[in-house]
């Protein structure tokens, strides 16, 4: 599988239950059926996609036409369907072909299911590439590397954030200090658009906060000099967004610098 920096990684196509062997992947394309045919009834496919370290997965549809309200194509942020939903689509909306869906971590999990009814569409095909996690972040989120106390993390400079937005910030405190986030605004689509804070620089580090909705979270303080902050929104409904100030706390005193 190609990446933005010429690297390659393996993707496992795990077929939970598949009729006629139609769901598959070829190189960096996943599909429910070949372009010359249609998909079958009563199939459930899942693809587990893993990018190289330091990269994330980005999916772009090249065709999308399935039975509206009955057959579903879903994308999750993480290694299984327990992750946050990034996309849930049905029907044949042309707008699906104009979006890029990006994970916030190296893993992305994709599923397709069809029912027992007779109507079938042209199916779904999508190209997956791996991009550097910093390059994947929206320019709306800048700066992405924060090394100064008093800096602000914001999901948007205007009235609301956008759909399918990905922001990945790295906060680096000086030696002898740890980062602290204090929130002044928080309004996202509950259960779908979320902020995640890790105590360290990767998604594998301990989770300090995972939050969505309109309730203001309590301040979050790390135990390491580096903190990873991620914001992800799905394909529908937005909010007024998130604002948080960054401060650095001494590991030996309570002084803020």
* pLDDT tens digits, one per residue of 22-34: 577 777 889 998 8
Tell me which residue of 241, 212, 216, 246 sits closest to 228, measured CA to CA.
Answer: 246
User: CA–CA separation, 212 vs 109, rounded Å?
Assistant: 21
- DSSP characters over 190-254: TTTSEEEEESSSSTTSPEEEEE-SSSPPPPEE-SSSEEEEEEE--SS---SEEEEEEEEEESSSS
* pLDDT tens digits, one per residue of 47-56: 999 998 888 8
For residue 143, cis peptide bond before it (omega within 30 degrees of 0): yes
**Distance in angstroms between the alpha carbons of the first and the last residue of the chain:** 44
User: CA–CA separation, 118 vs 101, rounded Å?
Assistant: 30
The predicted model scores a pTM of 0.65
Residue 15 has pLDDT above 50, yes or no: no
Q: Hey, how many other C-beta atoms are within 10 angstroms of the C-beta on 151?
A: 16
* pLDDT tens digits, one per residue of 94-142: 888 877 888 988 999 999 999 988 778 899 999 898 888 767 776 677 7
User: CA–CA separation, 43 vs 202, rounded Å?
Assistant: 35
Tell me the average pLDDT of the chain. Answer: 84
């Amino acid at each position: 599988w190609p990446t933005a920096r010429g690297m390659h990684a393996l993707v496992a196509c795990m077929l939970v239950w598949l009729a006629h062997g139609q769901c598959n992947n070829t190189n960096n394309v996943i599909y429910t059926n070949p372009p010359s045919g249609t998909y079958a009834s009563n199939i459930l496919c899942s693809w587990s996609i893993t990018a190289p370290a330091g990269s994330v997965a980005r999916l772009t549809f090249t065709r999308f036409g399935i039975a509206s309200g009955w057959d579903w194509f879903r994308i999750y942020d993480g290694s299984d369907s327990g992750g946050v939903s990034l996309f849930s689509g049905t029907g044949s909306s042309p707008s699906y072909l104009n979006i890029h869906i990006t994970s916030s971590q190296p893993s992305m999990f994709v599923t397709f299911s069809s029912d027992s009814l007779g109507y079938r569409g042209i199916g779904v095909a999508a190209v997956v590439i791996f991009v550097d996690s910093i390059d994947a972040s929206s320019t709306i989120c800048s700066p992405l590397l924060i090394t100064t106390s008093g800096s602000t993390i914001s999901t948007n400079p205007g009235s609301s954030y956008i759909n399918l937005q990905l922001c990945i910030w790295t906060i680096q405190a000086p030696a002898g200090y740890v980062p602290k986030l204090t929130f002044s605004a928080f309004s996202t689509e509950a259960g779908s658009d979320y902020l995640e804070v890790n105590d360290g620089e990767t998604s594998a580090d301990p989770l300090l906060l995972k939050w969505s909705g309109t309730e203001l979270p309590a301040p979050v303080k790390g135990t390491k000099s580096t903190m990873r902050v991620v914001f992800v929104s799905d394909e529908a409904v937005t909010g007024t967004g998130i604002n948080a100030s960054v401060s650095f706390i001494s590991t030996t005193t309570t002084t803020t610098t």
